Structure 1
Amino acid sequence: MTRELRNIAGIKQSTCAYCGVGCGVDIHQQVSPESTQIEAVSLQGSQDHPANFGRLCVKGENLLATTSLDDRLLYPHIKNERVQWSQAIEHVANKFNDIIAEHGPESVAFYVSGQLLTEDYYLANKLMKGYIGSGNIETNSRLCMSSAVAAYKRAFGEDVVPCSYQDLEQTDLIVLVGSNAAWTHPVLFQRMQHAKQINPDMKLVCIDPRRTQTAAMADLHLPLKPGTDAVFFNGLLAFIAAANACDSHFIQQHSEGFEQALASASSYTPERVSQICELGIEQLLDCYQWFIESKRAISFYSMGINQSSTGVDKCNAIINCHLASGKIGRPGCGPFSITGQPNAMGGREVGGLANQLTAHMDIENPQHRQSVQTFWQSPTMTQQPGLKAVDMFDAIKDNKIKAVWIMATNPLVSMPNRQVIEDALDKCELVVVSDCVATNDTISKADVTLPAAGWLEKDGMVTNSERLMSRQRGIIAAPGESKSDWQIIAEVAKAMGFSGFDYASVADVFREYAKLTGYENNGERLLDISALAQLSDAEYDLLKPVQWPVNANYPNGCAQVFSDNKFSTPSGKARFLPITPQLPQAKIDNDYPFILNSGRLRDQWHTMTRTSRADALNEHSPQPLIHIHPKDAAKQQIKEGDYVEATSRFGKLIMAANITEDVRSGEVFAPIHWSRTFASHGCVSALYSSVNDPISGQPELKQTPVAIAPKAYETYVTIVAHSLTEETDNLLSKMIPERLSADDFWLNYPNRALQQWQLAMNRVPEDLLSWCKTFLPGQYRWLQQIDNNTNKTTLLAFNQESLVFYGQFSALPQEFNRPWLQHCFDQEQLNSDDRSALLTSMVSTEFCLGRQVCSCFQVHQQTIVDAIEQGAASVTELTETLGCGGKCGSCKPELAALLEHHNKAPQQSLIIPSKEVA
């Protein structure tokens, strides 16, 4: 805890705002003596929450550091002018009504987010599908989970994840496919490692083109050729059959389509799979043999499978193997799709995707449409699916959709082919954005901005990756005039003239949704939480986490679905799908000879609008790097740290090079998080085409052909300035991008106390001092030093003896030592030694410690290496010596990798003992 707790108001349990693990957090409250308002003073993982049992990753540990009011959207605006809520609501409602009256209901659209709570999602779908009468409501979950949704539905008749986290402790084999869980879902990865510690015979396999932190900790890493996953699992299905390892009883009694699926897979012998996937035959056979010999196995898959032009087929190829071997419907078994957002599952439940109806009903089923309309007593009902994400923005660009309401998401950064999205929003007659941040790439295009409550401020329900529903509880009052999303949606609906949106509380909304899940269900769908439809407000507030279904048959929820081998298909049987593997549509050629892959980093999240607020989270990976194999780097004459331009047919990015053997030759990797809020050319999605899976509509965001080349500039600039006032901060943020040409590079490092910029320019300002002074108006004492030997100029500005500005101009890229610069700016009076060091760039050795590995205790790489060289031989010993790994544990795989690199044995102790997470 950061300060003494006084006047404790108690503890509230809520859920983490990040990934689909759905960790519980205990938030300690107190009454502020200044404002008498409740404030959150500390948090910890909830010991009794079944998703995490007290564990949190580093992002979760730093949640409270992300709740400042910096850059918060606090008031409604129309055309950047602050207005009253009544004006904003009336404006949005009237514009939607006018456009619908002239062009019909298909001329409007909503684009929503897995950041919304279930009740928010539910009302947005009710308004669009049952009152406006269009299917044009789409969610950003289309970009990450829709292939898994479609595959589950094809196989089981319903979008049902048949696994629970407790299966991880009960299995003999975990196959991670296209998932870097050590970084993207650290709490679950630690759980896997803990299960392996309990059961040393358990095997962990990682199938991923990159050698990730997850792959480094696996018993077997299979670096298959990107896009060949369906070949791999067709081969596994054929191997299961050839080894007589099929569950004949399950196949005959509880499934259909096996013969056709096997016929499609039978030609994929291990030798053929080895050749196509570019895998060693011995490694391949080890994995196949482990699968058939294991009584229980889990396939744990994520974006690397889903984000493909054939993602649905890849998911079904995995499911086929579980059905054939009978590894489903039993503890420790199943195809486990892990979600990326905190409420992606909740959105799927209420019909968040354009081709769904609420409660797992189908738009194309007339009986389902009638049921939902009757239940809602709505004036109309969409008769057909709406446009999926890519098609929706194409329709906006083509002026077929004339109004769009974007909620809690940033499609300019996350959607493929950024230029199309920009053109679409520029042409759109009405762009409404409701969000809790005041600036991001998408908000810059908005005609109307509506301030939404953020995490810690809003109440509702979320559902995690294992169907576990948990309460998110508001702890503090929403700042300014911000409102919960469900309230905003209901007010717009009423202003449009619709009845049926009079809710006294969020519990009212939840009760309606819960009742609908059981309405005319008759056991047809597993999604049935009708047992919760009669909860009082108090019972809703106190509701414990529970896995659906929750109904008369399962009043306390149900962890193990399909244990009776009954599925949600018309026949009640699971369906095999014949899979004909197809390679990605995007192919390399002479102009674009490399394949670009992308993904997440450990300490960042989505487009950084939340994580960038926590300084501790910005040190592990302070800038985006493009990862290149040494052979390719040598061929392209790229050195470590060089700026690299990666160009596709659709856009380009510029990042510094990280030369590593963790990527395959011919492939490069870049992180997804940097938007134009933080980098001039860091938006990876700008390089991707709009190619998507024809069934799920999920874009192919893991593969695009690119050309890479070193990028040289005339001058390289570092600027650091104290955050003195909002005015001076805005000067830098506004003027630096304006001063640079479209081909110049800039990077803005998030930091609360300092403005920190790296620039690379094709011209040198004529008067460097005057150029710098424009960023810092006022009376300051300036020092300038010119080093003609190195062609380097350094400028310092002081307020009395306190450093307030640092600028360095060089003909060559310079290392940006953030800890040292922070140390200099932290001094009330900069001492003469540090001043001389700044002017001569002679950094003290105590600050030359490499990158930060442990964010909880700010332990840097060189400190860890020194400890290893002094005898620390395990992760446990590093924790005891330095503290790293002793809190959230997210850095433990990296500690193990450093030990392995220095010829130590890291495998034995990767798990936080229970006493350390209490």
Structure 2
Amino acid sequence: MRRTTASTCCYCGVGCGVLIEHDADTIHGVTGDPAHPANYGRLCSKGSTLHKTGDPAARALYPELRLGKGMARSRTDWDTAMQHAARVFGQTITDFGPDSVAFYISGQLLTEDYYAFNKLARAVVGTNNIDSNSRLCMSSAVVGYKQSLGADSPPCSYEDIEQSDCLLIIGSNMAYAHPVLFRRLEQAKSLDPAKRIIVVDPRRTATCELADVHLGIQPGTDVALLHGILNLLIQQDWIDETFIQTHTGGFDALQSLVGEYTPEHVAGICGIDPEALRQVAQMIGTAPSFLSLWCMGMNQSSAGSAKNSALINLHLATGKIGKPGSGPFSLTGQPNAMGGRETGSLSNLLPGHRDATNAKDRAEVADYWGIEALPDSPGLSAIELFEAVRRGKIKALWIACTNPAQSMPDQTLIREALALCPFVVVQEAFATTETCQFADLLLPASSWGEKNGTVTNSERRVSRVRSAIPAPGEARADWAIACDFAQRLEKQLKPDQPSVFGFHQPQTLFDEFRGLTAKRDLDYSGLSYQLLDALGPQQWPFLPGAERGTARLYADKLFPTIDGRARFIADTYKTVKEQQSTDYPLILNTGRLRDQWHGMSRTGTAAQLFGHVDQAQISLNPADIDRLELHDGQLVRVTSRRGKLVLPVVADEQLQAGQAYIPMHWGDRFLRGGGVNVLTQPAFDPMSGQPELKQAAIRIEPVSLPWDVFILVEGDIQARFSALRDLFEDLAYASFSLAGREEPALLIRAANEQPRNTEWLAEVDLLLGLDQVPVLAYDDPHLAVSKRIKIEGSRIRAVRLCGETKARDWLINLWRNGESTENLQRWLLAPLSAPPGATAASVEKIICNCVNVSHSRIQAAINSGMNLDSLKAELGCGTECGSCLPEIRRLLPAPNAPASTI
């Protein structure tokens, strides 16, 4: 019998409520929860396809143990696995001390999972070596809030998006990264055209389509820009002197500093028109309310903390904080990065927004836990942690629910560290992640739809996550794995002491943790599972006896500092760590795709989500394409000071000359050579520890790989993916993706200097099912051309082209659209032929993934005179999640002048 379970989406920090349709064994559908105040029923393209992800064939199902480096892992039972882990960790701690082990966890864990790992590391092991992939995401925002406002407490609510008169979106392609919030902004703008929207981004992203002004600054120049805006606010007397004098400190030093940032000086640094700076300052200074929204473009920087503080300075100087429609509002990247910050899941933090470096804070937590003391030696942040692993200082590493072999910068060193580490435990739901190959012990974890607990979204709203179906195989909840291990380790390290891990369900973890929030800035000691079930998601603070949460902080103009005043922070502008040079003339930026998420461990299992962008590629401004004498689709070698990568180049007018862009998602699983983070740099902010993933100096040069390969195959995707991935490992270029909707296929595009031999081709054909008739075949050994196509009925089931692939995209479209295959044999017999009746073909780009509407259909409808309303009515595009709307608007002829890019 079908039933519905209310839960929370597992992707970004918007924290959308979802309704899971299931039969207690299988999830059949997902819709937005109209009662959830984060999204009111809206979902993006990723959330709306949650039920199509998580391919069981990609899941980790049973514990697997490797008994020696170089040996294969084999299946084992949970008791053996956990006893082995406890024995190795226990012996390592005994021999080398508690700081010889470390835990690297994830913003995708639930709050209960987080709390269990924190207590495990600090109370049982006695180390602060516990860090999270939130270090790559939000740690600069943490420092910014704490330095300026006294606590890591984002003061705003989503409703401020509708209520604000002026919004500044900086370092965020909100349309792709937080599309549900962007839908709210689009609707608010349509209802109030006078609402001013400013977007600051080196690229002209989809978010810019809604902007009144787009400031296309040079990468990494945010601090100079923000100081320049403040300079003008002061000069024009658009500041709140009463608020500054009564509720802040440090203004005089900041005023002296920003006096140097004149419009002309800032324009020279940022590469913008000084009049644009004046226009933006006037918008902010004269607006009754002012809201700022930001994400990775601000945070992922060696000056990320300074950027955050410089932005908060604008709110403090104008007094536009703690009021409806006003305040600094960081958009969290992961579903529970906020919960991780609350529970202390960064090496320098403790539960309840406490600091591991503060003796009083350590004593409070130790007393609450009933232990003698917490460790006082500093913990290692993510970059430092993996460097310590590589140097042999960390000898046992536990990784949970994250994929550092894809997401960390400078992948060559990360993989070297993982390979050298004597004992690596990977606790993971998906056995296909890049990190799993380094696991000496692989522990299967439950995933979305199978978990029970809580998460906190960007607006401080705590929501319930509920399980709809049991986890597959022998997978266990993350908190349960951590608690099991903790209890076993306690027996080894502290056999005479009582256990501090008497947890048997997530609710007991939540109830213990919320006590550590009491009388703190994030106090939600009044919350419980029962209240959340009765009242729905609630924002903290939520004190005992409260009937609803707190929508907005600092309305009383009191800040959680010693004197109750906020602080202006005066940091000078510093350039990015890597500058353009003769050897490395381009600056690489990384960012998000609309329909993929992070390392694609989940979204990468849904073929539908590859419809918008189906392969890794590097984008350049057309002028740079011409200067380098390249053409669209040409393979190039991209080189940074750390590594090299081969991938196709495409022209993109949204980029400025001298800049390049690669989406962050493509790791070694989908792109041979280690993925995009082979190129990125490990330089990090000294305050936050967050790496500068956004800027790296690179060069691009054409590469000659004359022997090309194309594969399309339906059926048994994950098994074929793994086997073929191994076969293509030593080719110079290989890209892997999925295609289709109801009947998905694996796609491989590859190229090499020299042809492979017949034995290699035979092995590939065996994996593709092309070794048996009936199969259309053509071979020309002299030209090293070999083609195989399998057709069942009138449908293509498998294709393998080697030596020439001119018809590759035509064949993809033919397969995808289910068109007639009558021309195939005639084409097949021509060794170097283009597609029949065409000189060129390209893969149809799906603009609207929800209802499967392609770019060509939308463009044809626009050419026939359709507007946005008629497109929605006739084609259905833009009527479901709405994630395609910015791109559709870009195709439409603008009724008014577009936002100026200045």
> Amino acid of the residue matched to residue 38 of structure 2?
A
Aligned equivalent of 2:63, options 67, 70, 76: 76
The answer as to 2:641 corresponding to 1:645 is no
In the alignment, the residues of structure 2 paired with residue 321 and residue 724 of structure 1 have an alpha-carbon distance, to the nearest angstrom, of 55
In the alignment, the residues of structure 2 paired with residue 307 and residue 652 of structure 1 have an alpha-carbon distance, to the nearest angstrom, of 22
In the alignment, the residues of structure 1 paired with residue 691 and residue 657 of structure 2 have an alpha-carbon distance, to the nearest angstrom, of 24
CA deviation profile, 1:576-596 (whole Å, cap 9, x unmatched)? 111211111111211111100
> Amino acid of the residue matched to residue 654 of structure 2?
D
Aligned equivalent of 1:160, options 153, 158, 168: 153
* Equivalent pair of 1:24/1:51 in contact (CA under 8 Å): yes
Aligned equivalent of 2:47, options 60, 64, 71: 60
Task: Report the equivalent of 1:513.
Answer: 513
In the alignment, the residues of structure 1 paired with residue 757 and residue 474 of structure 2 have an alpha-carbon distance, to the nearest angstrom, of 47
The answer as to 2:784 corresponding to 1:795 is no
- Go from structure 1 to structure 2 and tell me whether the alpha carbon gap of 1:731 and 1:241 turns closer, same or farther (over 3 Å shift): closer
* Equivalent pair of 1:786/1:794 in contact (CA under 8 Å): yes
CA deviation profile, 1:108-165 (whole Å, cap 9, x unmatched)? 0000001100000011011101221111000000001100100100011110101110
- Go from structure 1 to structure 2 and tell me whether the alpha carbon gap of 1:565 and 1:552 turns closer, same or farther (over 3 Å shift): farther
Q: How is 1:796-835 mapped onto 2 (pairs within 5 angstroms)?
A: 796-797=789-790, 803-811=796-804, 815-817=808-810, 819-823=812-816, 832-835=822-825
Task: Report the equivalent of 2:276.
Answer: 283
Aligned equivalent of 1:761, options 722, 738, 752: 752
Aligned equivalent of 1:19, options 12, 37, 58: 12
> Amino acid of the residue matched to residue 756 of structure 1?
L
Aligned equivalent of 2:2, options 8, 11, 35: 8
TM-superposed deviation, 1:297: 0.7
> Amino acid of the residue matched to residue 710 of structure 2?
T
* Equivalent pair of 1:718/1:816 in contact (CA under 8 Å): no
Task: Report the equivalent of 2:78.
Answer: 85
Task: Report the equivalent of 1:665.
Answer: 657
CA deviation profile, 1:634-671 (whole Å, cap 9, x unmatched)? 11111111112110010122221111221111110111
Task: Report the equivalent of 2:865.
Answer: 871
The answer as to 2:427 corresponding to 1:434 is yes
In the alignment, the residues of structure 2 paired with residue 812 and residue 29 of structure 1 have an alpha-carbon distance, to the nearest angstrom, of 43
TM-superposed deviation, 1:838: 5.8
- Go from structure 1 to structure 2 and tell me whether the alpha carbon gap of 1:540 and 1:212 turns closer, same or farther (over 3 Å shift): closer
In the alignment, the residues of structure 1 paired with residue 552 and residue 794 of structure 2 have an alpha-carbon distance, to the nearest angstrom, of 66
> Amino acid of the residue matched to residue 853 of structure 1?
I
Task: Report the equivalent of 1:853.
Answer: 847
- Go from structure 1 to structure 2 and tell me whether the alpha carbon gap of 1:39 and 1:624 turns closer, same or farther (over 3 Å shift): same
CA deviation profile, 1:861-882 (whole Å, cap 9, x unmatched)? 1111110111112x22211121
In the alignment, the residues of structure 2 paired with residue 353 and residue 547 of structure 1 have an alpha-carbon distance, to the nearest angstrom, of 22
The answer as to 2:588 corresponding to 1:611 is no
The answer as to 2:487 corresponding to 1:478 is no
Task: Report the equivalent of 2:328.
Answer: 335
In the alignment, the residues of structure 2 paired with residue 837 and residue 590 of structure 1 have an alpha-carbon distance, to the nearest angstrom, of 46
> Amino acid of the residue matched to residue 514 of structure 1?
R
Task: Report the equivalent of 2:679.
Answer: 687
CA deviation profile, 1:499-529 (whole Å, cap 9, x unmatched)? 12122311111000111211xx3xxx31111
Secondary structure in 2 matching 1:580? coil
CA deviation profile, 1:383-419 (whole Å, cap 9, x unmatched)? 1331010000000011111111000010011111111
TM-superposed deviation, 1:630: 1.4
Task: Report the equivalent of 1:551.
Answer: 543
- Go from structure 1 to structure 2 and tell me whether the alpha carbon gap of 1:402 and 1:843 turns closer, same or farther (over 3 Å shift): farther
Aligned equivalent of 1:48, options 35, 38, 50: 35
Q: How is 1:387-426 mapped onto 2 (pairs within 5 angstroms)?
A: 387-426=380-419
* Equivalent pair of 1:183/1:890 in contact (CA under 8 Å): yes
> Amino acid of the residue matched to residue 567 of structure 1?
F
- Go from structure 1 to structure 2 and tell me whether the alpha carbon gap of 1:728 and 1:580 turns closer, same or farther (over 3 Å shift): closer
* Equivalent pair of 1:735/1:775 in contact (CA under 8 Å): no
The answer as to 2:480 corresponding to 1:454 is no
Compare 253-262 and 678-687 and name the one that shifted more. Answer: 678-687
> Amino acid of the residue matched to residue 204 of structure 2?
R
TM-superposed deviation, 1:748: 4.0
- Go from structure 1 to structure 2 and tell me whether the alpha carbon gap of 1:783 and 1:165 turns closer, same or farther (over 3 Å shift): same
- Go from structure 1 to structure 2 and tell me whether the alpha carbon gap of 1:84 and 1:63 turns closer, same or farther (over 3 Å shift): same
Secondary structure in 2 matching 1:462? strand
Secondary structure in 2 matching 1:669? strand
In the alignment, the residues of structure 2 paired with residue 838 and residue 342 of structure 1 have an alpha-carbon distance, to the nearest angstrom, of 49
Task: Report the equivalent of 2:26.
Answer: 39
> Amino acid of the residue matched to residue 149 of structure 1?
V
Compare 445-454 and 650-659 and name the one that shifted more. Answer: 650-659
- Go from structure 1 to structure 2 and tell me whether the alpha carbon gap of 1:427 and 1:905 turns closer, same or farther (over 3 Å shift): same
The answer as to 2:713 corresponding to 1:721 is yes
* Equivalent pair of 1:131/1:378 in contact (CA under 8 Å): no
CA RMSD in angstroms comes to 2.4
Secondary structure in 2 matching 1:62? helix
- Go from structure 1 to structure 2 and tell me whether the alpha carbon gap of 1:73 and 1:687 turns closer, same or farther (over 3 Å shift): same
* Equivalent pair of 1:131/1:380 in contact (CA under 8 Å): no
In the alignment, the residues of structure 2 paired with residue 637 and residue 197 of structure 1 have an alpha-carbon distance, to the nearest angstrom, of 43
Identity score, percent: 39
- Go from structure 1 to structure 2 and tell me whether the alpha carbon gap of 1:93 and 1:272 turns closer, same or farther (over 3 Å shift): same
TM-superposed deviation, 1:282: 2.1
> Amino acid of the residue matched to residue 673 of structure 1?
H
Task: Report the equivalent of 1:175.
Answer: 168
In the alignment, the residues of structure 2 paired with residue 725 and residue 870 of structure 1 have an alpha-carbon distance, to the nearest angstrom, of 40
Task: Report the equivalent of 2:70.
Answer: none
- Go from structure 1 to structure 2 and tell me whether the alpha carbon gap of 1:57 and 1:345 turns closer, same or farther (over 3 Å shift): same
Secondary structure in 2 matching 1:816? helix
Aligned equivalent of 1:493, options 469, 486, 490: 486
CA deviation profile, 1:427-449 (whole Å, cap 9, x unmatched)? 11110000001122111001000
CA deviation profile, 1:217-267 (whole Å, cap 9, x unmatched)? 211111011111000111111111111121111111111111111111111
Task: Report the equivalent of 2:667.
Answer: 675
Task: Report the equivalent of 1:528.
Answer: 523
In the alignment, the residues of structure 1 paired with residue 22 and residue 886 of structure 2 have an alpha-carbon distance, to the nearest angstrom, of 33
* Equivalent pair of 1:503/1:509 in contact (CA under 8 Å): yes
* Equivalent pair of 1:265/1:579 in contact (CA under 8 Å): no
* Equivalent pair of 1:896/1:907 in contact (CA under 8 Å): no
In the alignment, the residues of structure 2 paired with residue 325 and residue 91 of structure 1 have an alpha-carbon distance, to the nearest angstrom, of 59
In the alignment, the residues of structure 2 paired with residue 680 and residue 376 of structure 1 have an alpha-carbon distance, to the nearest angstrom, of 47
Aligned equivalent of 1:567, options 559, 573, 582: 559
* Equivalent pair of 1:794/1:839 in contact (CA under 8 Å): no
Secondary structure in 1 matching 2:775? strand
Compare 767-776 and 706-715 and name the one that shifted more. Answer: 767-776
TM-superposed deviation, 1:701: 0.7
TM-superposed deviation, 1:907: 8.6
In the alignment, the residues of structure 2 paired with residue 835 and residue 544 of structure 1 have an alpha-carbon distance, to the nearest angstrom, of 61
The answer as to 2:373 corresponding to 1:386 is no
* Equivalent pair of 1:397/1:420 in contact (CA under 8 Å): yes
Compare 297-306 and 63-72 and name the one that shifted more. Answer: 63-72
TM-superposed deviation, 1:366: 1.3
Compare 614-623 and 681-690 and name the one that shifted more. Answer: 681-690
In the alignment, the residues of structure 1 paired with residue 762 and residue 28 of structure 2 have an alpha-carbon distance, to the nearest angstrom, of 44
Q: How is 1:234-253 mapped onto 2 (pairs within 5 angstroms)?
A: 234-253=227-246
In the alignment, the residues of structure 2 paired with residue 74 and residue 341 of structure 1 have an alpha-carbon distance, to the nearest angstrom, of 25
> Amino acid of the residue matched to residue 866 of structure 1?
A
In the alignment, the residues of structure 2 paired with residue 52 and residue 308 of structure 1 have an alpha-carbon distance, to the nearest angstrom, of 30
TM-score, normalised to structure 2, is 0.93
The answer as to 2:101 corresponding to 1:108 is yes
Secondary structure in 2 matching 1:320? helix
In the alignment, the residues of structure 2 paired with residue 399 and residue 654 of structure 1 have an alpha-carbon distance, to the nearest angstrom, of 32
In the alignment, the residues of structure 2 paired with residue 727 and residue 582 of structure 1 have an alpha-carbon distance, to the nearest angstrom, of 49
* Paired residue total: 878
- Go from structure 1 to structure 2 and tell me whether the alpha carbon gap of 1:654 and 1:744 turns closer, same or farther (over 3 Å shift): closer
Structure 2 alignment gaps of length 5 or more: 67-72, 492-498
* Equivalent pair of 1:186/1:890 in contact (CA under 8 Å): yes
